[in-house]
Amino acid sequence: MNKNHYVAIMAGGIGSRFWPMSRTDYPKQFLDILNTGKTLIQSTYDRFARFIPAENIYVVTAENYKDIVTQQLPMLPTDNILCEPSRKNTAPCVAYISFKLHQLNPEANLICAPADHLIFDEAAFESICLHALEFTANIKALVTLGVKPTNPNTGYGYIQFEPLAVSENIFKVKTFTEKPDLALAKTFVASGDFLWNAGIFVWQTKNILQAFEKLLPEIHEVFEAEKYLFNTPKEKEAIEKIYPQCVNISIDYGIMEKADNVYVIPAAFGWSDLGTWASAYDTLEKDYLDNAVTGNHVMVIDATKNMVHADHKKLVLLQGLEDFIVVDTPDVLLICKKEKEQEIKEYVAEIKRNKGDKFI
């Protein structure tokens, strides 16, 4: 394994579209959504541990999730769990790990990846990541992994790439498009030159820090002023000073969509961002009526194409529903049309307004 290779697993989100299973105090990255025997963050760690030195694997999370990370990844050194004092989207998160690692190793070559993605072909994923790391080690490049679309999904961002490769299976990025409507998504997929944005990035820390200096100077400035405290006992104090000064912005919008040295590697490794219940439905095995069921005592009668999640101890009988999401937890029952799944996030906000934080 290469000692200059690092990974930052980003695990600070609250996964509100996976409510009511995912809650603010215990979000989806710490859950075994698909009953695989591992939580999503455990699967992500194991995936990277195949080819990244164990001491070079970091988790960036919220302060109130530190104990959960420690419990689920006991092999991870405490110093490798970086806690953000507040949620400011992905750009400050990337700046934090990049400044910290650059202080430790100026040749650090870093993968930034979400904790809650699903990848079935781990050998192909490893091969793509190593290919990206080899490219970024020699080229001043910011690389993103793009997934070849299998359908016109409106829940993903899309990346358009130039037709000619600059290196083996590596292409210059032409445009980024946020979640499109169905008509536009169909056009993208039919064209053949668009990929799903997997939100997995690869770069040398020195190159992403230069991009911050140029494109997000306000974030770069506050980190630069305190960087001498990173990897010292005063790092936490420095971060608590830095974060209130950071704008809330994604790395995609703040840098990737604006930089002129962004490249994409088209890939197929059985990927899902597992962002919604419908994506879980797509992933799970179905019964003969096309229902995806997790729960030992779920009975389905004259119902089809439903996503059903229930406690293993509870009997749930479902009759007559088609294309619904049914999620039963001890204190919340969700029954929602699958076509409305993108709105679950809005429903959670409505619940907070009407019922407070008790159920979220």
Answer whether 197's CB lies under 8 Å from 175's CB: no
CA atoms within 13 A on the CB side of 7: 27
- Given a cut of 90, is residue 333 above it in pLDDT? yes
Give the least confident one: 123-132, 180-189, 219-228.
180-189
- Hey, what's the torsion of the CAs at 149, 269, 323, 188, to 10 degrees? -10
Answer whether 318's CB lies under 8 Å from 306's CB: yes
Report pLDDT for 258. Answer: 93
What is the enclosing helix (H) or strand (E) of 104? Answer: helix 90-104
Q: Tokens for 292?
A: 């995806």
Q: Tokens for 219?
A: 């974030």
- Given a cut of 80, is residue 255 above it in pLDDT? yes
**Phi, psi at residue 157, to the nearest 5°?**
-80, 160
pTM: 0.90
Report pLDDT for 36. Answer: 81
Q: How far is CA 260 from the centre of its chain?
A: 24
Report pLDDT for 295. Answer: 84
Report pLDDT for 296. Answer: 87
CA atoms within 13 A on the CB side of 62: 15
**Average pLDDT over every residue of 340-347:** 86
CA separation for the pair 25, 21 (Å, rounded) = 11
Check residues 153 and 72 and name the one with the higher pLDDT: 72
- Given a cut of 90, is residue 202 above it in pLDDT? yes
5-272 is a CATH 3.40.640.10 domain: no
Report pLDDT for 177. Answer: 86
**Average pLDDT over every residue of 170-182:** 88
Answer whether 128's CB lies under 8 Å from 146's CB: no
Question: pLDDT tens digits for 86-125?
Answer: 999 999 999 999 999 999 999 999 999 999 988 989 999 9
Domain boundaries, the chain: 5-272, 277-355
Tell me the pLDDT band of 35, cut-offs 50, 70 and 90: confident
Tell me the DSSP string of 42-71: HHHHHHHHTTS-GGGEEEEEEGGGHHHHHH
Answer whether 305's CB lies under 8 Å from 288's CB: no
| CB-neighbour burial class of residue 123 (10 A; exposed 0-12, middle 13-18, buried 19+) | exposed
Average pLDDT value for the chain: 92
